Amino acid sequence: MKKEFASGNIKITIDYDKCTGSGECVTACPVEIFEVRDGKAVANHVEECVECCACVNACPNNAIEHSSC
Ligand code: SF4
Ligand code: SF4
C-alpha cells in the first residue's frame, strides 16, 4: 500500500510494503518532515519541504518517492 502526503506542487509517496520504520528519513530531512509512527514513516507539514531529496537518497528500501526528486 502506498500513501501520499502532498502540499501544493510537492507530493511525497511512501510505499508501506517497503518501509520498515528504520528511520533514516527522519534523520536525513533537514526540516523534520518525517516521523515513524506505529512502525511506518509518515510525512508531516509537507509545505516546509525544501526539495533537497535527502529522504529519497537515505531510505535503504527505496520506499520514498518525491515529486521533485
Ligand atoms: S528510511 Fe525508508 S524504510 Fe526507513 S522509515 Fe523512512 S521510509 Fe521507511
Ligand atoms: S526532499 Fe528534503 S526537505 Fe523534503 S522531505 Fe525529503 S529530506 Fe525533507
pLDDT at 63: 98
pLDDT along the chain (69 residues), means of 10: 97 98 98 98 98 98 98
Ligand 2 and 49: CB distance under 6 A: yes
**Which pTM does this prediction carry?**
0.96
The closest residue, in CA terms, to atom 3 on ligand 1 is: 19
Ligand 2 and 59: CB distance under 6 A: no
pLDDT at 1: 97
Determine the Cα–Cα distance for residues 41 and 64; give it in Å rounded to an integer: 9
Q: Does domain 2-66 have CATH number 3.30.2130.10?
A: no
